[in-house]
Amino acid sequence: MRKTRGFLLIGSLVASSGPFSGGAAAYDGLVVKRPFTLASYTTAGGRTLRGVRVGYETYGSLSPDRDNVIFIPQPFSATSHAAGRYRPDDAEPGYWDEIIGSGKAINTDRWFVVSADTLANLNAGDPDVITTGPASIDPETGHPYGLGFPPMTLRDFVEVHRALLDWLGVGRLHAVVGASMGAMQALEWASAYPDRVARVVAVAGTGETDAWMIGQINSWASAVRADRAWNGGSYYWARDRPAAGLAAALRMVVLQMRHPSWATATFGRRWAEAGASPSLSLDNRYEIEAWQDDTAMALARRMDANSFVLMCRALQSFVVGGASLEDGLRRVRARVLLVPVASDLLTPPQHLHRVQRILEAAGASVTSREIAGEGGHADDVTRIGSVAEDIRAHLEGSDRRSARTSAEGSP
Amino acid sequence: MRKTRGFLLIGSLVASSGPFSGGAAAYDGLVVKRPFTLASYTTAGGRTLRGVRVGYETYGSLSPDRDNVIFIPQPFSATSHAAGRYRPDDAEPGYWDEIIGSGKAINTDRWFVVSADTLANLNAGDPDVITTGPASIDPETGHPYGLGFPPMTLRDFVEVHRALLDWLGVGRLHAVVGASMGAMQALEWASAYPDRVARVVAVAGTGETDAWMIGQINSWASAVRADRAWNGGSYYWARDRPAAGLAAALRMVVLQMRHPSWATATFGRRWAEAGASPSLSLDNRYEIEAWQDDTAMALARRMDANSFVLMCRALQSFVVGGASLEDGLRRVRARVLLVPVASDLLTPPQHLHRVQRILEAAGASVTSREIAGEGGHADDVTRIGSVAEDIRAHLEGSDRRSARTSAEGSP
């Protein structure tokens, strides 16, 4: 079964056919990617876009009262594809398949899980991604937006997803559960719509991007901009694409998602090719370099350079609530489970510890459970199974609205 | 007084005029940069270069017995300029001026300090640097070597400096003292010439470059190579230089030399320009981005991209002794003072702790003293004053040749 891209008329905020027609929303092991279209959307920065589309997919069945919905915002380099397979012969399921499905921690026998692409999703060249971003055609000009596309914030991602859930007829969310940039959106959701979010699970991520992260992300974005083929963001009609700059940026990203202990255990100082000593020729590589290069190139092939640059800025701009982290978190009324990753060098555990302290001081219900290991930031996916039961318990716990529940754990 | 570049005939391994003529070698507050020339040098990889030149400078006076020499190999992005000023109006003295000079920890009233540029020094465009590297003219072709210049190892740097010291008539060194890549060379010196090195002070650095560092450095070098103006290393005759790629690499380097706590304390989330919110335009920047950009551009202006790429490979290739770290360190007979930097994320303290364990197991005399603080790797220079007295004591301690002295401290 090949996925067929649906088509919704622009402006069909409530489609008469409904998003659940055809039974495709039930999670039967094959996942259907669907588009959601907004006639117009005005960004937090005040720029209006027409005909905004983002993709979404669902697992499980919506209850008659529409009160069993768990929303999953996407991580930075990922898509809506959190679980299951689009096609029987897909090599890999979605990134969190280990915890989403029938009988799993996010139990699709019980919960209706909605997972969505963001605006300006990096993977604009992936046929399974539906996103409006710099590579999309600007209906005003008939040409790709390029950097005419406005800078985004994570709040913009939340707003478009809120419109999606409105359109699905879903009011209050049982939970918002996300990893990394998904965790950041989950916290933003709980701050922006305190009465609509009953629970949050934030795995890795941060409450605000600090100076160090801003600088690291500047290094990423600058590597793209240093590629002349990027040409100030105008390359869609050019023969050459800024693939080299994008790959240079992604070489940093894929490494920084890991940890020195993981790198030593996985690669050590081995050469990529027997007999080809890197100390004798620049053409020879270490094994970790070959892994970085190959992983980065593969990612770069489906990514759009301008989307990458805009997404970098969205990450840099992030503070829960948009101004002060304390003010942003004070609005949260959800029960929050924070899952810092012990060996995370991209968003070290201290970030979520700080979120916990602020939430506790504000009297919110917050618990934490760390993912142990030495895999680095990537353990938010690779070792998610180690906290599956904590996530299950958090989701299946009673839906008390008290904001005075004392914390069950602390960092 | 402006520095005058001296000239030595190729092949003058022992110059009849001698390197100390004219009294310029005495450290009188103004430093003279001098060239050292080797008629030919064959690299560890087996490639022969003709007419190799590196610069050196000295502080203090050589004793009649030539037994008071401290050698300072240079850090990665630095030069031989460890102390003093070349000109009265120089804005800054050498990087370790705080500990090198009359009465200071490395007391030039007592020690004759020799500090030298490496081959392929990054700062090929700095008029105070003397180095043979990819930007130098290949006497065989009359054109710049470019990537015809052979890959280097830190052992090559040591060998050229050994030839310099031979030429200066200096046999046994009282000490080799270095920071970062200088510390790595100091350990290499002690392994390669155990009978010539009485003491080592290694500030930051490592005994071998691990997988994580290899990957980080791959990110740096790849950013240079992603700039089309780099053109596979052939750009010396071109109108455009790969300055953008080099700056992209240096944006990473300058940040990774620091630490998140330093970044937060120094910049926080402040904007570079009041009223110019980075969330509204890609043209607006955070203050830390402006610092990164400006620092990287300034460095890039005097650096050569091919030298950068080759120096990256030299760092990646580094293991004391060239094969196994254990075997390399087992040869060391010097008394070693290790100075890990607590907040170092580039060469974390664990690296020197491992060196200490191996040296201790081999029965070597080794002590350690950590530089506290939150400045990151850069504290090897900015906070060197905090360990000045430890360095002084190590240098002024008795010159026992026993290799069985028990360690005075451990990590």
- Convert the pLDDT of each residue in B153-195 to its tens digit: 999 999 999 999 999 999 999 999 999 999 999 999 999 999 9
* Pairwise pLDDT comparison (A237 vs B4), residue with the higher score: A237
Residues 55-84 of B with CB under 8 A from A: none
Judged by a CB distance cut-off of 8 A, whether residue B151 touches chain A is yes
SS3 B34: strand
Residue B50: in which H helix or E strand, if any?
strand B48-59
Is the pLDDT confidence value at A50 over 70? yes
Q: Report the pLDDT value the prediction gives residue B23, as an integer from 0 to 100.
A: 38
Query: In whole angstroms, what is the distance from residue A25 CA to residue A30 CA?
Result: 10
Rounded percentage of chain B residues whose pLDDT exceeds 70: 90
Let me know the angle formed at the C-alpha of B31 by B17 and B91, rounded to the nearest 5 degrees. Answer: 155
- For B42, the token pair is 């064959």
Whole-number Å distance between alpha carbons of A246 and A307:
11
**B372 pLDDT above the threshold of 80:** yes
Per DSSP bridges, beta strands B112-116 and B48-59 are antiparallel
Catalytic residues of B: 180, 344, 377
Predicted confidence at residue B398, as pLDDT, reads 72
Q: Which two tokens stand for residue A204?
A: 């890795």
Query: DSSP string covering B173-213, please?
Result: BSEEEEETHHHHHHHHHHHH-TTTBSEEEEES--SB--HHH
Whether the pLDDT of residue A16 is over 80: the answer is no
- Summarize pLDDT for B102-111 with one digit per residue, the tens: 999 999 999 9
3-state secondary structure of B395: helix
B214–A288 CB contact, under 8 Å: yes
Looking at beta carbons, which residues of chain B come within 8 Å of A269? 208-211, 214, 319
Name the average pLDDT for chain B.
91
Q: Does B10 touch chain A (CB under 8 A)?
A: no
Which of A151, A215, A223 lies closest to B288 in CB terms? A215
Give 3-state DSSP helix, strand, coil % of chain B, rounded to 5: 35, 15, 50
Q: Residue A157: which of A194, A128, A183 has the closest Cα?
A: A183
Asked whether residue B366 carries a pLDDT value surpassing 60, the answer given is yes
Sequence-ordered list of residues with C-beta below 8 angstroms from that of A232, at least 6 positions apart, any chain = A147
- pLDDT at residue number A398: 72
Residue A373: the pLDDT is 97
Active site residues of A: 180, 344, 377
Q: Is pLDDT of B405 > 80?
A: no
The 3 state secondary structure assigned to A57-80 is EEECCCCCCCCCEEEEECCCCCCC
Give the pLDDT of residue B52. 97
Chain B: residue nearest A348 by CA?
Answer: B260
pLDDT, tens digit, 9 for 90 and up, residues B263-293: 999 999 999 999 999 999 999 999 999 999 9
How far is it, in rounded angstroms, from Cα A279 to Cα A273?
Answer: 13
Task: Tell me which DSSP letter residue B112 carries.
Answer: E
Q: Decide if A297 touches B, using CB distance below 8 A.
A: no
Confidence of residue B399 (pLDDT cuts 50, 70, 90): low
Cβ neighbours for B142, distance < 8 A, ≥ 6 positions apart: none
Taking only the tens place, the pLDDT of each residue in B217-233 is: 999 999 999 999 999 99
List the single residue in A209, A248, A309 with the smallest CB-CB distance to B222. Answer: A248
B44-92 pLDDT, tens digit each: 999 999 999 999 999 999 999 999 999 999 999 999 999 999 999 999 9
3-state secondary structure chain A: CCCCCCCCCCCCCCCCCCCCHHHCCCCCCECCCEEEEEEEEECCCCCEEEEEEEEEEEECCCCCCCCCEEEEECCCCCCCCCCCECCCCCCCCCCCCCCEECCCCEECCCCEEEEECCCCCCCCCCCCCCECCCCCECCCCCCECHHHCCCCCHHHHHHHHHHHHHHCCCCCECEEEEECHHHHHHHHHHHHCCCCECEEEEECCCCECCHHHHHHHHHHHHHHHCCHHHHHHCCCCCCCCCHHHHHHHHHHHHHHCCCHHHHHHHCCCCECCCCCCCCCCCCCCEHHHHHHHHHHHHHHHHCCHHHHHHHHHHHHCCECCCCCHHHHHHCCCCEEEEECECCCCCCCHHHHHHHHHHHHHCCCCEEECCECCCCHHHHHHHCHHHHHHHHHHHHHCCCCCCCCCCCCCCC
Q: How far is A319 from chain B (nearest CA, A)?
A: 10
pLDDT tens digits, A190-230 = 999 999 999 999 999 999 999 999 999 999 999 999 999 99
Cross-chain residue pair B282–A310, CB shorter than 8 Å: yes
CA-based nearest distance B388→chain A, Å: 29
Question: Tens digits of per-residue pLDDT, B335-361?
Answer: 999 999 999 999 999 999 999 999 999
Which residues contact residue B74 at a Cβ distance below 8 angstroms, ignoring those fewer than 6 apart? B80, B82, B115, B116, B117, B118, B121, B178, B181, B182
Backbone angles phi, psi at B168, to 5 degrees: -75, -5
pLDDT of residue B59: 97
CB atoms < 10 A from the CB of B212, how many? 22
Residue with tokens 């010097």: B334
Report the mean per-residue pLDDT for chain A.
91
Distance from CA of A138 to the nearest CA of B (A): 18
Q: Is A390 on the interface with B (CB under 8 A)?
A: no
Angle among Cα B236, B241, B245 to the nearest 5 degrees reads 130
| Interface list for A 201-220 with B (CB within 8 A) | 208-212, 214-216, 218-219
Is a pLDDT exceeding 90 seen at residue B296? yes
DSSP line for B18-29: -TTGGGTTS-SS
Query: What is the predicted pLDDT for the residue at B157?
Result: 98
pLDDT at position A28 is 55
Contacts of A240 (CB under 8 A, 6+ apart): A229
The residue length of chain A stands at: 411
Structure tokens at B242: 């790969």
* Span A155-192, pLDDT tens digits: 999 999 999 999 999 999 999 999 999 999 999 999 99
Checking DSSP bridges between strand A69-73 and strand A106-107, what pairing results, if any?
A: unpaired
Is A279 close to B227, i.e. CB distance below 8 A?
no
pLDDT score recorded for residue A401: 46
Q: Are A352 and A323 in contact (CB under 8 A)?
A: no
Those residues whose C-beta lies under 8 Å from the C-beta of residue A97, and which sit 6 or more positions away, are A82, A83, A84
- CB atoms A282 and B313 under 8 Å: yes
Q: With CB atoms and an 8 Å threshold, state whether B151 touches A264.
A: no
**Residues facing residue A392 across a β-bridge:** none
Task: Return residues 17-56 of B near A (CB < 8 Å).
Answer: 44-45
Q: Could you give the CA distance from residue B56 to residue B34 in angstroms, rounded to a whole number?
A: 5
How far apart are alpha carbons B200 and B178 in whole angstroms? 8
Cα–Cα distance, B186 to B352 (Å, whole number): 13
Q: What span, in angstroms and rounded, lies between the C-alpha atoms of B61 and B111? A: 7
Chain B touched by A335 (CB under 8 Å) = no
- This prediction has a pTM of 0.91
Rounded to a whole number of angstroms, the distance from the CA of B409 to the nearest CA of chain A is: 26
Residue with tokens 């020879």: A284
Q: Say what percent of chain A tops pLDDT 90.
A: 89
Residue B148 forms contact with A (CB below 8 Å): no
Q: Note the ipTM here.
A: 0.91
The number of beta carbons lying within 10 Å of the beta carbon of residue B270 is 13
Across B12-41, average pLDDT: 63
Mean pLDDT across the stretch A319-347? 97
